[in-house]
Amino acid sequence: MAAPPDTPTRVDDAALIARSRHRPDLFAMLYDRYFVEIHRYAAGRLGSQIADDVAAETFLVAFRRRETFDPARGTVRPWLYGIATNLVAQHRRNETRRLEAFQRAPVDGEADEGYEERVATRLAAAGVRGPLASALSGLSDGDRDVLLLVALADLSYEEVSQILHIPFGTVGSRLNRVRRKLRAALGGVNPMIGGSDG
């Protein structure tokens, strides 16, 4: 959604950035103009809850880098979207690293077992972790969010519905679809142990 056209009382975005170098409080006008659409973009990429942080971080980065903004290279709006896109990519890289760490992590209770039991447990876990991490990486953002909110945070369908701003029924249908995909990836093993069904 484009910003409203300039009017005699509306200060140009680039001029606001230039003036905010000496009057930092003026940067708040850019925040007011573009926060909602940057938030909407981040929510579309990562989900509503994470979008709050990404949108706020976008403006923090922009504020810190306002000295380097060059209007000859483009306008403020695409500059903000570029910052937001970089933050989305960073978030996804962090999530990928967490999935890889999950794949390598020791199984709970492994330290209490004898050597032979640890080897057997590790082999069994390695057989599931690789395909599980791979299957999780292949899920859409929305499907992964639903699964992880139920499986990791042990939230009810209603809570997930509220967090992601999706209908209650959509939570159930996404989770059923994810379960089928993960069960297939794990050779028929049930991917959901525990978790609330609503």
Q: Is residue 105 part of a domain?
A: no
Q: How confident is the model at residue 123 (pLDDT cuts 50, 70, 90)?
A: very low
What is the count of structural domains for the chain?
2
**What's 181's domain CATH number?**
1.10.10.10
Q: Is residue 33 part of a domain?
A: yes
Q: Which has more pLDDT, 12 or 78?
A: 12
The DSSP line for 89-115 is HHHHHHHHHHHHHHHHSPPTTGGGS-H
pTM for the structure as a whole = 0.48
* Range of lowest pLDDT (18-27, 52-61, 117-126, 167-176): 117-126
Host domain of residue 87:
13-93
| For range 21-26, the mean pLDDT | 94
Q: Is residue 113 part of a domain?
A: no
What amino acid is encoded at 150 in this protein? V
What amino acid is encoded at 6 in this protein? D
Contacts of 2 (CB under 8 A, 6+ apart): 77
Residue 43 and residue 85 share a domain: yes
Of 43, 72, 93, the one marking the end of a domain is: 93
Q: Is residue 100 part of a domain?
A: no
